């Protein structure tokens, strides 16, 4: 029985990334998971509950990836270079960031995993920037909170431009540009 629950969650994670919340339906989840309708309603109260559980798992996975990328045994600017230089498919977009333009973002239950992930990444970026300032790799005048928001917005904005122009290179251009800005700030 637990494997059907896992199948439903796995199918939902894929459909959320591919279609978004509003276009995902219980019928599509059932078709993708191979589970019966009874399984869905045995394990979940409905679409929103299933999506919330799936989004929590996605956030957990992405936070774990961020923890590896921002391993504190690595120099702070190298951590930031890893973040900005990570392989990204601009056409598929961020597994969580893509929900920002959906109406579902207003629902706290669905928004919570996204907030948690982006706060997690923000803390890592701020920590690396502060450490770089302490090591005198960045000027002491750099506002790390603002710069962290700028770097994160660059990644998410790169995804948006890639999808708008149907050209996956935009996300790479944006993140490479952000890295060049960081290098130019080096003292």
Structural domain includes residue 31? no
Domain count, the chain: 1
Rounded distance, CA 6 to CA 65, Å? 21
Indicate the Cα dihedral angle 110, 146, 60, 100, nearest 10°: 30
* pLDDT of 101: 87
Q: What is the CATH number of the domain that holds 130?
A: 1.10.357.10
Q: How many CB atoms lie within 10 A of CB 21?
A: 22
- What's the whole-model pTM score? 0.93
User: Which stretches of the chain drop beneath a pLDDT of 50?
Assistant: none
d(CA 125, CA 144): 8
Q: Is residue 29 included in any domain, yes or no?
A: no
Q: What is the pLDDT of residue 37?
A: 83
Report yes or no on 30 lying in a domain. Answer: no
pLDDT of residue 64: 98
| DSSP, res 25 | -
Are 88 and 155 a contacting pair, CB within 8 Å? yes
Residue 156 lies in a domain: yes
Distance CA 95, CA 108 (A): 18
Residue 8 lies in a domain: no
Contact (Cβ atoms closer than 8 angstroms) between residue 154 and residue 178: yes
DSSP conformation class of 97: G
Q: Which residue has tokens 């000027």?
A: 139
In a domain, 14, yes or no: no
DSSP H stretches of helix in the chain? 2-19, 26-33, 37-43, 47-69, 76-85, 108-134, 144-165, 169-185
Residue 27, domain member (yes or no): no
* DSSP for residue 74: S
Range(s) of the domain holding residue 118: 52-185
């Amino acid at each position: 029985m637990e494997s059907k629950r896992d199948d439903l969650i796995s199918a939902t994670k894929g459909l959320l990334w591919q279609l978004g919340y509003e276009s995902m339906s219980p019928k599509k989840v059932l078709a993708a998971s191979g589970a019966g309708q009874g399984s869905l309603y045995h394990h979940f109260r409905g679409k929103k509950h299933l999506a919330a559980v799936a989004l929590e798992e996605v956030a957990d996975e992405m936070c774990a990836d961020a923890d590896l990328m921002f391993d504190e045994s690595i120099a702070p600017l190298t951590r930031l270079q890893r973040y900005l230089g990570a392989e990204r498919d601009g056409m598929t977009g961020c597994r969580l960031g893509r929900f920002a333009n959906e109406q579902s973002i207003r629902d706290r239950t669905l928004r919570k995993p996204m907030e948690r992930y982006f706060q997690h990444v923000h803390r890592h970026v701020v920590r690396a920037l502060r450490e770089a300032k302490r090591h005198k790799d960045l000027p002491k005048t750099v506002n790390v909170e603002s710069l962290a928001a700028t770097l994160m917005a660059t990644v998410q904005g790169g995804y948006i431009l890639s999808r708008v122009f149907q050209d996956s290179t935009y996300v790479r251009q944006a993140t490479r540009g952000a890295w060049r800005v960081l290098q130019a700030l080096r003292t």
